[in-house]
Homo-oligomer: A and B are copies of this chain.
């Protein structure tokens, strides 16, 4: 006997009349009819012009793009879904250790009590947290609590810094570099269009970073000037670290050229080699030219919790003598409402002795991973950079190999996700970045698979 439901179903299939599977047909029909109500008027376009700066951006933001390519590969090869190992986006994977976790739980729990409840805090963060950051992380008496701005992370702070500098500055970046510096410069209207030949945007100063200069640019020697210089050390993606002499020369050059240095120290605690500066404020004169951006994401496991900070010294001034700190404060109060009070309580726990010990153990773990990756790839005959004082390995590909091709090749042959160097700017072509933030067993498995399938040795 044919049920009423079956008749309706057949009717639906008939009316839809396309070649999808039965299930898909029904779903499609449902979406079509569901959308009918809402989409029936979609021929309207507003008269609002698209922000021209956005049309200059090339493709999507790098990391979601990697995700899209992984997903495309998986839908074409659903059977090997479980084999995928990600050494791609630098996302932490170890649970948050007990003491720091207790800070987060305390932060949440106290919101249920009359005494512990807090609403809007200072937009720049709790005073006690800012004081701990100022006193525990920087050289003695170097940074004051009112120069510290607690935030929801370094990436967000870079956008707010760009917001403050506005459209009329010229930025300089390391090439390759973390894509946010370039993309936000474009979005703010500081640049011209992308030159398809060079892969560079007009009006950004690209400072080449190669093995020859230890991936650190010699800004002093360049005959060009930029207003804002973005430097990241330990570097994402190259894993290189800037020495005291690198940074002294840079500060000197910034002073001479009247530039402002935005120093991204998000990976600073990964530095274990003695004598390497962990903060730009260890360098003489930095207070006059530098801003430092930081984050707990990578070493306290806070990639999802969201907590970071930016330091802007009171002695950093625009050309008219006004304080950079005051304008950044205006951005923070007008366009931000503070990091989550729960995350901030977690930050307080990070800065205790117990918290620091736990962070140190997390870093040990990820640096061990980095070391495994480094040695495996070296064993295979690759030239490898980074991985010593940084959680990233920067792998030199054989001459003539495009980094997106290598990305695809590795994904297809050993199901390991990496990041093509070209995603970090034209200077990254010919390299791959491997992240050490995966679980140990994944790193070991990835190493074994690569040993089986890849070798540039004769």
A39 vs B286: C-alpha distance when bound (angstroms): 11
Q: Are A117 and B142 in contact (CB under 8 A)?
A: no
Q: Are A48 and B227 in contact (CB under 8 A)?
A: yes
A337 vs B306: C-alpha distance when bound (angstroms): 8
Closest 9 CB pairs of A and B: A47-B258, A51-B166, A159-B335, A34-B141, A119-B303, A304-B341, A50-B318, A42-B315, A91-B119
Interface residues of A in 304-322 (CB under 8 A from B): 304-306, 313-322
Q: A108-B342, A336-B155 in contact; A318/B42 too (CB < 8 A)? A: no
* Minimum C-beta distance from A46 to chain B (A): 5
A193 interface residue (CB < 8 Å to B)? no
Identify 27 residue pairs between A and B in the complex whose beta-carbon atoms are under 8 Å apart, listed by A's number.
Answer: A38-B287, A44-B289, A44-B315, A45-B317, A45-B320, A46-B260, A47-B227, A49-B227, A49-B318, A51-B168, A52-B166, A60-B330, A61-B334, A93-B117, A93-B119, A94-B117, A101-B108, A105-B109, A152-B152, A155-B335, A167-B167, A184-B334, A184-B335, A187-B334, A187-B335, A303-B337, A305-B340
A118 interface residue (CB < 8 Å to B)? yes
Q: Are A304 and B141 in contact (CB under 8 A)?
A: no
Q: Chain B residues near A274 (CB, 8 Å)?
A: none
Copies of this protein in the complex: 2
Q: Chain B residues near A319 (CB, 8 Å)?
A: 45-50
A80 interface residue (CB < 8 Å to B)? no
* Minimum C-beta distance from A144 to chain B (A): 8
Q: Chain B residues near A78 (CB, 8 Å)?
A: none
Q: Residue of B at shortest CB range from A124?
A: B64
Q: A45-B318, A156-B336, A336-B156 in contact; A119/B304 too (CB < 8 A)? A: yes
Q: Are B46 and A318 in contact (CB under 8 A)?
A: yes
A396 vs B121: C-alpha distance when bound (angstroms): 30
Q: Are B335 and A156 in contact (CB under 8 A)?
A: yes
Q: Are B330 and A285 in contact (CB under 8 A)?
A: no
A330 vs B287: C-alpha distance when bound (angstroms): 33
A342 vs B347: C-alpha distance when bound (angstroms): 14
Q: Are B47 and A315 in contact (CB under 8 A)?
A: no
Other-chain contact of A47, B53, B163, B257, B330 (Cβ < 8 Å): B257
Q: A163-B187, A168-B51, A335-B159 in contact; A112/B119 too (CB < 8 A)? A: no
A288 interface residue (CB < 8 Å to B)? yes
Interface size for A (C-beta < 8 A) is 113
Q: Chain B residues near A166 (CB, 8 Å)?
A: 51-54, 189
Q: Are B168 and A304 in contact (CB under 8 A)?
A: no
Known: A38-B315, A51-B166. 4 other contacts (CB 8 A): A49-B320, A152-B306, A155-B336, A304-B340
Q: A101-B109, A119-B303 in contact; A44/B152 too (CB < 8 A)? A: no
Q: Chain B residues near A333 (CB, 8 Å)?
A: 60-61, 63-64
Q: A34-B141, A301-B111 in contact; A41/B91 too (CB < 8 A)? A: no
A168 vs B412: C-alpha distance when bound (angstroms): 45
Q: Residue of B at shortest CB range from A143?
A: B38
Q: A105-B105, A119-B93, A163-B187 in contact; A141/B37 too (CB < 8 A)? A: yes
